[in-house]
Amino acid sequence: MTDTKRPIYLDYAATCPVDTRVLEAMLPYFTDRYGNAASRTHVFGWQAEEAVEAARREIATSLNADPKEITFTSGATESNNLAIKGVVEYLAEAGKKHIVTAVTEHKAVLDTCKHLERHGCEVTYLPVAVDGRVTPEQVAAALRPDTAIVSLMFANNETGVLHPITEIGAACRAAGVLFHTDAVQAFGKIPVDVEAMNIDLASLSAHKLYGPKGVGALYIRRRKPRVRIAPQIHGGGHERGTRSGTLNVPGIVGFGYAAKVAREELASESARVFELREHLRRRLVTEIPHAIVNGSLEHRLPGTLNISFAYVEGESLLMGLKDIAVSSGSACTSASLEPSYVLRAMGLDDELAHSSLRITIGRFTTREELDFVADLIGREVARLRDMSPLWEMVQEGIDLRTIEWTPH
């Protein structure tokens, strides 16, 4: 524990604190400028609408898009649902019922696809290579005359690995197939340009870039090509009928301000975060034997590190790391006892998939914190290896794959 009683927060991929600058921008819209953005008859409504449109412009600018192409939602899960279900429903009349995605997508995409499979769609789940990526060639080969949409995430939430988005977008564009990307982890951390990258739909979330929880957006391209989607939430016709429901004005204001701050500081902040992550990574892989970074190091978000410490189980390691807040790739707390499906899809051995930590660095992380973390992880891994029968066998020169285990 450093100077505070709370653990060091290194789980920025899960969520971020709201930046105080963002909070200050939001506050008047709770108590003073509390109008309904849909109220056209008085100044309260006009103020709220103006604030929403200003936020829409900030987000559009960050994406190199037009403000009319931004639809506000409750978050990225809703955006992913709206993008995929909305496109598939709209194109169903044209007989298009095939979806292409990848096995490492977020559950908000995978479960949406599974739902659509039960309703007559066919889904191709592309495998990933050991580096966690799919290739544009894989995508092109999966496309069919009846493919409605390709949905592939910009950056993976567990590993931070980046797909070749520009090339995948180009392959989709060449085939006349819509391309959706879940850009939640990337937006505000690395450049996301819907024009240069051939993106037709993109899901965004405010709380991953120091904005509030409960607000997100879907970018929907309006020209070349014009993307049409069937609304999934019906009501008063808000957001040009694409997504009904009273707008979360303070949340949207915060989202817009968070996007502006992230855009203005992107170059310097991504360089700072990258340098911090590399400092931590170098220390871990040089000081701890059998510490293995999962997924492509070259094609990765600056602040994300997914690392396995072989022969140490992830949950027990987390228990020893109670002074830091990180995620484990292992889902041992669930009844299923399945290690991360993302790491398994990358072909990791079970003992490595069970041993992974996801460490994500953000705006408020310091080098001193990371030095404390590197020391702590080194100590705990050594302690747990001393009581690991797998480590003992490996030290004795036994190949674990030759052992007949007794799965239970």
Partner 1 sequence: MAYSNKVIDHYEHPRNVGSLDKGDASVGTGIVGAPACGDVMKLQIKVENGVITDAKFKTYGCGSAIASSSLVTEWVKGMSVDQAMQIKNSQIAEELSLPPVKIHCSVLAEDAIKAAIRDFQQKQGAPGSEGESKH
* Annotated binding-site residue? 77: yes
* Annotated binding-site residue? 246: yes
Could you tell me if 2 and 371 are in contact, meaning their C-beta atoms sit under 8 angstroms apart? Answer: no
Stretch of 49-57, 163-171, 241-249, 389-397 lying at the interface with partner 1 (CB under 8 A): 389-397
Catalytic residues: 332
Q: Does 339 bind partner 1 (CB under 8 A)?
A: yes
Stretch of 115-123, 280-288, 370-378, 385-393 lying at the interface with partner 1 (CB under 8 A): 385-393
* Annotated binding-site residue? 76: yes
**Binding residue for partner 1, selected from 23, 92, 233, 332, defined by CB under 8 A:** 332
Complex with partner 1: residue 333 or 366, whichever CB lies closer: 333
Pattern 341-380, partner 1, x by CB under 8 A: --------xxx--x--------------------------
Could you tell me if 355 and 308 are in contact, meaning their C-beta atoms sit under 8 angstroms apart? Answer: yes
List the one residue out of 361, 363, 339 whose CA is nearest residue 352. Answer: 339
Pattern 222-261, partner 1, x by CB under 8 A: ----------------------------------------
List the one residue out of 220, 192, 193, 216 whose CA is nearest residue 205. Answer: 216
Dihedral class, residue 15 (left if φ above 0, else alpha if ψ from -120 to 50, else beta):
beta
- Smallest gap from Cβ 393 to partner 1, in A, equals 9
- HSE-CB at 405 with a 13 A cutoff on CA atoms is 9
Q: Could you please report the per-residue DSSP string of 224-238?
A: SSPP----SS-SS-T
In this structure, which amino acid lies at residue 138? Q
Q: Does 20 bind partner 1 (CB under 8 A)?
A: no
In this structure, which amino acid lies at residue 265? E
* DSSP SS3 for 291: strand
**CA distance to 313, 322, 360, 384, per residue, from 319 (Å):** 10, 6, 18, 11
Pattern 290-329, partner 1, x by CB under 8 A: ---------------------xxxxxx--xx---------
- Smallest gap from Cβ 287 to partner 1, in A, equals 21
- Smallest gap from Cβ 396 to partner 1, in A, equals 10
Stretch of 99-107, 247-255, 284-292, 333-341 lying at the interface with partner 1 (CB under 8 A): 333-341
- Smallest gap from Cβ 76 to partner 1, in A, equals 26
Q: Does 334 bind partner 1 (CB under 8 A)?
A: yes
Q: Does 407 bind partner 1 (CB under 8 A)?
A: yes
Could you tell me if 345 and 128 are in contact, meaning their C-beta atoms sit under 8 angstroms apart? Answer: yes
- Smallest gap from Cβ 345 to partner 1, in A, equals 15
How is residue 301 written in tokens?
């978000």
DSSP β-bridge partners for residue 151: 180
* Annotated binding-site residue? 157: yes
Complex with partner 1: residue 278 or 375, whichever CB lies closer: 375
* Annotated binding-site residue? 115: no
What distance in Å separates the CA atoms of residue 325 and residue 303, rounded to the nearest whole number? 15
Segment (H or E) for 126: strand 122-126
Complex with partner 1: residue 54 or 332, whichever CB lies closer: 332
Q: Is 111 exposed, middle or buried (0-12, 13-18, 19+ CB in 10 A)?
A: middle
Q: Could you please report the per-residue DSSP string of 294-349?
A: -S-SSSB-TTEEEEEETTS-HHHHHHHTTTEE-EESB-TTSTT-PBPHHHHHTT--
Complex with partner 1: residue 215 or 317, whichever CB lies closer: 317
* DSSP SS3 for 87: helix
Q: Does 395 bind partner 1 (CB under 8 A)?
A: no
- Smallest gap from Cβ 321 to partner 1, in A, equals 12
Q: Does 397 bind partner 1 (CB under 8 A)?
A: no
DSSP β-bridge partners for residue 325: 9
What distance in Å separates the CA atoms of residue 133 and residue 190, rounded to the nearest whole number? 17
- Smallest gap from Cβ 322 to partner 1, in A, equals 10
**Binding residue for partner 1, selected from 174, 271, 387, 398, defined by CB under 8 A:** 387
Complex with partner 1: residue 45 or 347, whichever CB lies closer: 347
Q: Does 394 bind partner 1 (CB under 8 A)?
A: no
Q: What are phi and psi of 394, to 5 degrees?
A: -65, -40
CB neighbour list of residue 394: distance below 8 Å, 6 or more residues apart: 310, 311, 400
- Binding-site positions read 76-77, 157, 185, 205-207, 246, 332
- Binding-site positions for [2Fe-2S] cluster read 332
Site of interaction with partner 1 (CB under 8 A):
311-316, 319-320, 330, 332-335, 337, 339, 349-351, 354, 386-392, 400, 405-408
